[in-house]
A and B are shown apart, each in its own frame.
Chain A
Amino acid sequence: MLKKSLIVCAALILAVALCACGQSADELPVDTPEITASETPEAPLVMDPEASPPETSAEMPQDTPEATPASESPSETPSGTTPSSAPSESPSAEPSPSPDKYGTEPVPAGKAEPVEPEAIAVGDTAFTCTLSVRCDTILENMDDLAPDKLELVPEDGVIFATTTVTFYEGESVFNVLQREMKRAKIHMEFVNTPIYNSAYIEGINNLYEFDCGELSGWMYNVNDWFPNYGCSRYQLKDGDVVEWVYTCDLGRDVGGFSAAGS
């Protein structure tokens, strides 16, 4: 009996010693799809000589969803970039009646279908779109904001004013955000989430998800529509208007609640 307790104790001590090394806060992005491809807009990476022209890109990727198992439907909805959760009574979109293999519900008629970033080659034809990053919802919810972050919120809520930016054929919303934040020296942290095959924007300008209440985080909309899939899967078209907005209420306060599954 004594022997046993000795062994148990030795194991305990080992465990305590191992526990001492735990400090890191975030998990490592498991894999990195080639979405970080183009860094310098002057010389974009040409991955594929036969890049498809951008006009066809929007209706191109019709994924075949019939064969997908139902087990992959997502259970929760991190705000912003991830698709809807509940089996929705969404508008009858004819192309895909059930979620695709990343759990994305059918896209409403007339909206851009998700594409898979690893299958897209970035061309060198330049287009322009409009990008802005705002957090004005925080101004209405100052009480919920983590006290340390107070100094980070701009007075007018505009982190990156509406700007016309250049992007290259085949690039996604994520590519443009990453490049422009880097160029404007604005902090931005993301994590690649393989189950949604997209980057998830954790924080911009050090304003992170959950910093302003537990329903807060970053969401994006393109031409006033909040896509129900991640920003790496949204392929831009010429003249698109991209807005990144901070929500404090799961999208309800910015008009994007439908993307969160209602």
Chain B
Amino acid sequence: MRDVISDLHPVVSFLYFAFVLAFSMYFTHPVTLVLSLLGALSYSIYLKGRKALGFSSRIMLPMIIIVALINPLFNHQGATILTYLPSGNPLTLESIAYGISSGCMLITVLCWFSCFNVIITSDKIIYLFGRVIPAMSLILSMTLRFVPRFRAQMHVVSDAQRCVGRDVSSGGVLKRAKHGIQILSIMVTWSLENAIETADSMKSRGYGLKGRTAFHNFRFDKRDRSILFAVLAIAGTIIAGAMLGGLKYRYYPTMKGAAFEPLSVLLYAVYLALCALPVILNVRENRKWNALKSAI
């Protein structure tokens, strides 16, 4: 499936994610939290299909519940006392609401990051930061690649081990642990060897020499420019509006904040546009593509 954001110039797509992540982490207003969560969920479902839905229901839902339950255990602020905890401190509505909102924020950010990982691939990271912080961007892209690679190799190794009868999924606990450790030891050796190989390979290709260039075929075209302007305009509006207090919200001691004043409603609309931007662009692109295809 084609995705508009990943076809954009890395600067634009990175900037988009930077804004969305920063806003999702900064604003605690319930409306913006919900909008951002919906945007992130719909985009990750668009990118990854049903897998994303399973992930969000199996991991994210329990996460919200756990955070929502833990916060009132440690935080007893709030004017609406529901009941008293066994420790003698009050259980307040506000602390539960705060727990839910912070759980919501947590999974929203996780969800946006999972989209970020799909869109901003390691070659884009190198392209974006290769000049500014070469060592850091190399390390970042290598580590980001290391985890999936390690997992893939682990599958290969454990399959091979199963063929020779050292199965981790059968036998007694002790036996299984022994086989697991065997696989782990193989993996450590493999990663050590792999690191040396990578280092040698990089050295032989002249890594670290002066005047090095990196191949890329990113072009900053008209579409990139218009989307960049749109993102900047939206982000500017949100920042300015937030500075004027349009997205203010506080949970303690009573839940209070901007509700449906004109400025706030405008900001909600703009925020929705920002969060739904990838899905909107993709739907439009698909429709255009289908129209062109049927015209042939």
Contacts and interface: CB of A to CB of B under 8 A. Distances in A.
A189 B76 contact: yes
A25 B75 contact: yes
Given A3-B196, A6-B142, A203 B89 contact: no
B286 interface: no
A151 B254 CA distance: 9
A21 B70 CA distance: 11
A252 interface: no
A206 B199 contact: no
Contacts of A111: none
A106 B250 CA distance: 45
B122 to A, nearest CB: 13
Contact of A189 (B90, B143, B198): B90
Interface string B69-91: 01101111111010010011110
Contact of B77 (A9, A20, A208): A208
A206 B77 contact: yes
Give chain A's interface secondary structure class. Answer: mixed
B78 A23 contact: no
Contacts, number: 81
A189 B195 contact: no
B67 interface: yes
Contact of B195 (A3, A13, A36, A149): A3
A1 B199 contact: yes
Contacts of A148: 250, 252-253
A30 B270 CA distance: 47
Contacts of B84: 182
Interface string B128-151: 000000000001101100110000
Contact of A206 (B71, B89, B198, B252): B252
Contacts of A189: 76-77, 89-90
Contacts of A5: 139
A67 interface: no
A3 B191 CA distance: 8
Contacts of B71: 23-24
B158 to A, nearest CB: 20
Contact of A10 (B81, B146, B202, B250): B146
A28 B87 CA distance: 10
A9 B87 CA distance: 42
A231 to B, nearest CB: 13
Nearest to A206: B253
B77 A203 contact: yes
A172 to B, nearest CB: 13
Interface size class of A (residues with CB under 8 A): 20 to 34
B133 to A, nearest CB: 13
Interface size class of B (residues with CB under 8 A): 35 or more
Contacts of A152: 79, 253
Interface string B191-217: 110011011001000000000000000
Contacts of B199: 1-3
Contact of B90 (A21, A29, A187): A187
Contacts of B13: none
Nearest to A20: B106
A3 B192 contact: yes
Contacts of B140: 9
Interface string A138-180: 0000000000110110000000000000000000000000100
A1 B81 CA distance: 57
Contacts of A1: 199
A53 to B, nearest CB: 27
B74 A24 contact: yes
A148 B248 CA distance: 12
A221 B45 CA distance: 61
A141 to B, nearest CB: 18
26 contacts: A2-B198, A2-B202, A6-B139, A6-B191, A6-B195, A9-B139, A9-B140, A9-B142, A9-B146, A13-B143, A20-B109, A21-B106, A23-B102, A24-B74, A25-B74, A26-B75, A28-B74, A148-B250, A148-B253, A185-B81, A189-B90, A190-B88, A190-B89, A203-B77, A206-B77, A208-B77
Interface of B: 67, 70-71, 73-79, 81, 84, 87-90, 92, 102, 106, 109, 139-140, 142-143, 146-147, 191-192, 195-196, 198-199, 202, 250, 252-254
Interface of A: 1-3, 5-6, 9-10, 13, 20-21, 23-29, 32, 36, 148-149, 151-152, 178, 182, 185, 187-190, 203, 206, 208
